[in-house]
A and B are shown apart, each in its own frame.
Chain A
Amino acid sequence: MWLTNSSIGRKVIMSVTGIVLILFLTFHACMNLVALFSAEAYNAVCGALGANWYAVLATAVLAALVAVHFIYAIILTLQNRKARGNNRYAVTSKPEKVEWASQNMFVLGVIVVLGLLLHLYNFWYNMMFAELVQGHAAEVTLGGKIYEPTDGAGIMAYTFSQPVFTVIYIVWFVAIWFHLTHGFWSAFQTLGLNNKIWFNRWKKIGSVYVTVLMLIFVVVALYYCFCGGCVAGSGCYSL
């Protein structure tokens, strides 16, 4: 199978799974955008997803995509280290046009996965997982308060009311931003959908797209950090 036993094939796997994950992030950002305008509307979205079969199926597919992307990242990194050999250069210099992110994709990826685990613990565990285990009448207790698993806005307000999580999430978003600034155009390059003209176009499109995408996440997190109390109807505690 050329996808697994050729270097370009393995890169195609990285590229396709990466693009699908960017599309998922786009969906997620659109969903979060709703939370900026109305907590009820956001909770309606959470309710529509919840532990329904299509949401569970989509989650399983996403988990598989992340797993494949991560496993192949490990395989490729190990192979590349081996190809590099054991002898390191005594003096190195980074040419200007080499982006920092492009040479640190694996490290950034590990940060992204660690953040993802925290994110799953903060939200998925209290939302979809709680519903799967306890059924539709599920309740979760966070910080001494009882939440419905579909009360996404409430759980968000609770999580970001703790500044440590807001800070960790923003660091996480920055890591994803770095990862995607390289990943976006690199995916199209790997698929061969690139040439001298499209090179700069993909890079520009990628930076704009990824920056807007990650800004949405940052803005929603900050909004819930400072105004979460008002949104979730428990009073404005930040003032």
Chain B
Amino acid sequence: MAKNISFTLKYWKQNGPKDAGHFEERHMENIPDDTSFLEMLDILNELLIEEGKEPFVFDHDCREGICGMCSLYINGTPHGKTERGATTCQLYMRRFNDGDVITVEPWRSAAFPVIKDCMVDRSAFDKIQAAGGYISVRTGAPQDANNILIPKDDADEAMDCATCIGCGACVAACKNGSAMLFVSSKVSQLALLPQGRPEAARRAKAMVAKMDELGFGNCTNTRACEAVCPKNETVSNIARLNREFIKAKMHD
């Protein structure tokens, strides 16, 4: 049976990257617990608009956990605490109790400047991807299925790496503001497949160089990223990236 809960919502307001920002508080009454977290924020915004106030700004798009757009730091955890890996849009109000204080913050990292409120600029990820997260070799027309043999384990692992949606939760959780889990997943998804091998060395070097240039931190293997990744990427991807990068540099 669905029930309604009432709680205090503390949400971050900030006018652009230079503004100091502050929390605003609001008591939310009788929110059905089968409301999704983003729907709850929609209710908040409707209330704010009715009162003639400025709505709370946050990122969202597909609302089914595959686009990587939603990005809220809820009660100290990126995407909030869910039972399994899930994004903010897959978080439901039944995870909270009547009378809770729910604190909503943006991803805080120098490489992700705040655009407004809890909407941050994650175009740094696009730039890293554009630096080498693709293949440009001619793979020709679609081939016979068994022309290029790929072990099932490798194919599965590459697919798991490719499920990274680039939401940036790893950077948000990392005390070093490191993007290694994202970059390593994007390097791995191609490095594990034969089509990705010809450019593997160039890709690892270019993407790491871009990541460093954009001001992400140095990975110290705390595994905070892995703990919050909505797609369950693991730090073994980071070991693979380190391996690819060191091999490439040794080869130079």
Q: Is B30 an interface residue (CB 8 A)?
A: no
Does B242 sit within 8 A of A, measured CB to CB? yes
Interface flag for A238 (CB, 8 Å): no
Q: Which residue of A lies closest to B108 (CB)?
A: A87
User: Which residues from chain A contact B174 at a C-beta distance below 8 Å?
Assistant: 84
A162-201: CB near B (< 8 Å → 1, else 0) gives 0000000000000000000010011001111111100100
| CA–CA, A186 and B176, complex, Å | 15
Instruction: Report B-chain residues with C-beta under 8 Å of the C-beta of A97.
Output: 223, 226-227
Chain A, interface residues (CB within 8 Å), range: 35 or more
* B217 and A83 within 8 A (CB): yes
Q: Does A38 contact B (CB under 8 A)?
A: no
Tell me, rounded to whole Å, the shortest Cβ–Cβ distance linking B106 to chain A: 9
Residues of A close to B105: CB separation below 8 A: 89-91
Q: By DSSP majority rule, is chain B's interface helix, strand, loop, or mixed?
A: mixed
- Does the CB pair A186–B244 fall under 8 Å? no
Residues in chain B near residue A103, CB distance under 8 A:
175, 222, 224
Pair B242/A192 contact, Cβ less than 8 Å: yes
| Any B CB within 8 A of the CB of A105 | yes
Check: B73 CB closer than 8 A to any chain A CB. yes
Asked whether B109 lies within 8 Å of A11 as measured between CB atoms, the reply is: no
Contact B76 A7 (CB under 8 A): no
A44-52, A74-82, A131-139, A207-215 - the one binding chain B: A74-82
Tell whether, in the assembled complex, residue B236 and residue A195 are in contact, meaning their CB atoms are under 8 Å apart: yes
A145 contacts B by Cβ under 8 Å: no
Most buried by B among A8, A102, A105, A191: A8
| Residue B36 at the chain A interface, CB threshold 8 Å | no
Distance between Cα atoms of A178 and B174 in the complex (Å): 20
Q: Which range holds the interface residue count of chain B?
A: 35 or more
Complex CA gap A5/B240 in Å reads 20
Give the chain B neighbours of A95 by CB distance below 8 A: 77, 173, 223-224, 227-228
Q: Does B227 lie within 8 Å of A76, measured CB to CB? A: no
Q: In chain B, what residue has the closest Cβ to A8?
A: B245
* Cβ of B219 under 8 Å from chain A: yes
- For window 155-205 of B, CB contacts with A under 8 Å fall at 173-178, 180
B110 within 8 A of A: yes
Contact present for B108 and A191 (CB under 8 Å): no
- Give the residue of A83, A94, A102, A189 whose beta carbon is less than 8 angstroms from that of B238: A189
Query: Once the chains bind, are B228 and A195 in contact (CB under 8 Å)?
Result: no
Closest to A95 in B: B227
Give Cα A192 to B211, complex, Å.
18
CA distance A98 to B222 in the complex (A): 6
A80-B177 in contact (CB<8A):
yes
Contact A8 B236 (CB under 8 A): no
Please state if B234 and A7 are interface contacts (CB–CB under 8 Å).
no
Some 11 contacts from A to B, beta carbons below 8 A apart, are A5-B212, A7-B178, A80-B217, A85-B177, A89-B76, A90-B23, A91-B76, A93-B76, A95-B228, A102-B220, A195-B239
- The 7 A-B residue pairs whose C-beta atoms are closest, nearest first, are A192-B243, A83-B217, A95-B227, A83-B177, A93-B76, A194-B239, A80-B176
